[in-house]
Amino acid sequence: MRVLLAQRWADGFLDETPTAGQARVRPSVWITLVPVDDQFYVRSGGSRALAAYTREFGARAVARKTASRLRERDRNRRYVGVGLGTVEPAPFPGGEAPASPTAVPAPGSPVAFVAPCHPACMERVVLHRDLIRPVRAADVPRPVDPGARPGGATIVHRARPASPPPVVDDALVGWSPLAGIALDPAAVDRLVAWLAVEWRGARPDDRLLTGASPIATSTRRRPAPGAAPGSARRPTAALFGLGHYAKTQIVPHIGEHLDLIRVHELDPVQIGARRTDRWSWDTSPLPAEDDPADVLLIAGYHHTHAPLAHAALRRGSAAVVEKPLVTTEEDLEELAKLIDGGGRLFACFQRRHSPINAWLRTDLRLGEAREPMLYSAVVYEEPLPARHWYRWPASRTRLVSNGCHWIDHFLWLNDFAPVRRATVTSARTGTFTVYVELVNDAILSLVLTSAGGSRFGLREHTELRANGVTATIVDGARYSAEAGSRILRRRRVNRLDSYPAMYRGICERLVAGAPGENAREIRAVAELTLRLDTAAARQGPAC
């Protein structure tokens, strides 16, 4: 498929995969309206920031981060567009989409459409039915490009409207059907009505873009290689979600133990046109019925984690799931049933894998259980871009997105003791203050905020007190423990070292056939996190 990126009509991209309620449209006219700004983290890349990151995380980590961000430049260029086109046949992955009174238009139907978060133009585009309106066949032009090869389809692309367009509804800019936000039909209707006035045929400054590539939503599957003589076959893995985290933490750290055979990523531009052939690629959000992967590595949008884990466990595959494991109580109940039934799920809470934990247990004498733990943390997170997907209702609040790390660490250090009481306050500025008390009298005091600034992303100051000792953790990297007038220990680690340690530990357990997390521990963390999140939501909107 061809995509217009920075004025380049670039070939070689995969097609998007439609799911229920979506249609694939082949545009004949595409008019670019306004950019979708403030959606992704876009780094300035100044020398001072680069130096701060390098001092904190090391040259190799910064090189990976830089390469990942550079690959995202094309993805970051998003626009709202409107156009005219024809619905293409688009089978539902895994079979036909279920019949519905609000089904998408039939193949061959002429339509007007709004593309709310897309490149400047695409040879084909997959859109939710709420973004499509029927039009007369005569309204959809069939322009001819004299330079096009016979049978080639041509798109008229208009970079700037010829007439003033209506103000685009702010909720429509960057809208996704995955967000959990209802779309106002009137916002689409206004743009479609304006399009009927705007489009009166091609203008001299319009650009004709030829596209006649075959539809392809995936590359050929790479068969899993057999084991070398005298060695065991590595388990095969499929990755769901190729975001920044997956590129910098998952892919580099699993190769020694798992054979990555396929990557699923919804966005063709995120995948890119120049792709490695070490694994196959797929834009489907779902595993195929005949998916042979032994392990599903799940790192997509938060609310997709649990459904993908369900699919993995039902088919007998193991699931390695990034935080949060669930975003709803219903997903938690189903996940717990599958784990109790023998499903193997491995949770990626990297704070459990820091070398600091061994020092904590020794210095605080946690095994003696003479005095309850007081765990106090202030966590600064970078302000989210206004349209970032972490802000979607489907993603819930930052308590679910990131606060779960400290909630999990606290419960894990206390062997998942039951909760006696828990409260949360949510300030209008988006700061959360959490208080949790366990039946063993351990206390968690957690403040999550984005107020302030940072030279290198997330910051934290954590103090743990027990048995006359205070242990302090700064930014997950600097550790000290003191008792009275004595310094028991001072250490410094690279806080990113917990990620390779986590994946090494998980992969070794996978290869050995060891069980994953037990349902009691999964339930303890998820129930408390969701309970706090629900209570915070009642207090008003927060990020």
d(CA 187, CA 113): 12
Residue 79's closest CA among 13, 9, 4?
4
- Please tell me whether residues 341 and 366 are part of one structural domain: no
C-alpha gyration radius of the chain: 26
Better pLDDT: 526 or 229: 526
- Please tell me whether residues 195 and 328 are part of one structural domain: no
- Quote the pLDDT of residue 59: 85
186-197 per-position pLDDT tens digit: 999 999 999 999
> Which residue in the block uniquely carries the two structure tokens 């005095």?
371
How many domains is the chain partitioned into structurally? 3
Say if 47 falls within a structural domain: no
Domain boundary among 302, 331, 349: 349
- Please tell me whether residues 35 and 154 are part of one structural domain: yes
Q: What mean pLDDT do residues 315-332 have?
A: 97
Q: Is 541 helix (H, G, I), strand (E, B) or coil?
A: coil
Say if 50 falls within a structural domain: no
**Side chain identity, residue 246:** A
- Please tell me whether residues 20 and 158 are part of one structural domain: yes
d(CA 452, CA 454): 7
Say if 57 falls within a structural domain: no
356-386 per-position pLDDT tens digit: 999 999 999 998 867 999 999 999 998 999 9
- Report whether the peptide linkage leading into residue 185 is cis, meaning its omega lies within 30 degrees of zero: no
144-168 per-position pLDDT tens digit: 554 444 446 799 999 999 999 999 9
pLDDT tier at 58, thresholds 50, 70, 90: confident
- Please tell me whether residues 430 and 452 are part of one structural domain: yes
- Please tell me whether residues 256 and 120 are part of one structural domain: no
274-287 per-position pLDDT tens digit: 899 999 999 999 99
pLDDT over threshold 90, residue 32? yes
- Please tell me whether residues 333 and 365 are part of one structural domain: no
Domain boundary among 195, 211, 227: 211
- Torsion region of 302: left, alpha or beta (phi above 0 gives left; psi -120 to 50 gives alpha): alpha
pLDDT over threshold 90, residue 313? yes
Tokens representing 466? 């027990």
- Please tell me whether residues 163 and 23 are part of one structural domain: yes
Domain boundary among 322, 349, 376: 349
- In this prediction the pTM is 0.92
- Quote the pLDDT of residue 93: 56
Q: What mean pLDDT do residues 332-336 have?
A: 98
Say if 229 falls within a structural domain: no
- Quote the pLDDT of residue 226: 57
d(CA 21, CA 19): 6
| DSSP letter for each residue of 105-159 | PPTT-EEEEEEEEE-SEESSEEEEGGGEEE--GGGS-----TTSPTT-EEEEEES
Question: What CATH number should be reported for the domain holding residue 522?
Answer: 3.30.360.10
Q: What mean pLDDT do residues 474-486 have?
A: 96
- Please tell me whether residues 150 and 34 are part of one structural domain: yes
Residue 474's closest CA among 52, 56, 43, 48?
56
Better pLDDT: 44 or 298: 298
- Please tell me whether residues 182 and 267 are part of one structural domain: no
**Positive or negative torsion for Cα 261, 265, 268, 270:** negative
**Positive or negative torsion for Cα 472, 478, 481, 484:** negative
Please state the separation of Cα 93 from the chain's center in Å. 20
d(CA 406, CA 98): 41
> Which of 88-92, 134-138, 276-280, 527-531 shows the lowest mean pLDDT across its residues?
88-92
Say if 503 falls within a structural domain: no
95-145 per-position pLDDT tens digit: 444 444 457 899 999 999 999 999 999 999 999 999 999 999 999 987 555
d(CA 519, CA 514): 15
Q: What mean pLDDT do residues 464-479 have?
A: 96
- Please tell me whether residues 480 and 394 are part of one structural domain: yes
> Which residue in the block uniquely carries the two structure tokens 């090189």?
63
Q: Which domain holds residue 284?
A: 236-349
- Please tell me whether residues 111 and 30 are part of one structural domain: yes
Q: What mean pLDDT do residues 474-499 have?
A: 96
pLDDT tier at 223, thresholds 50, 70, 90: low
- Quote the pLDDT of residue 150: 46
Q: What is the percent of the chain with per-residue pLDDT over 70, rounded to a whole number?
A: 93
Question: What CATH number should be reported for the domain holding residue 333?
Answer: 3.40.50.720
- Quote the pLDDT of residue 99: 45
Better pLDDT: 74 or 542: 74
pLDDT over threshold 80, residue 227? no
Question: CB 453: neighbour CB atoms within 10 A?
Answer: 9
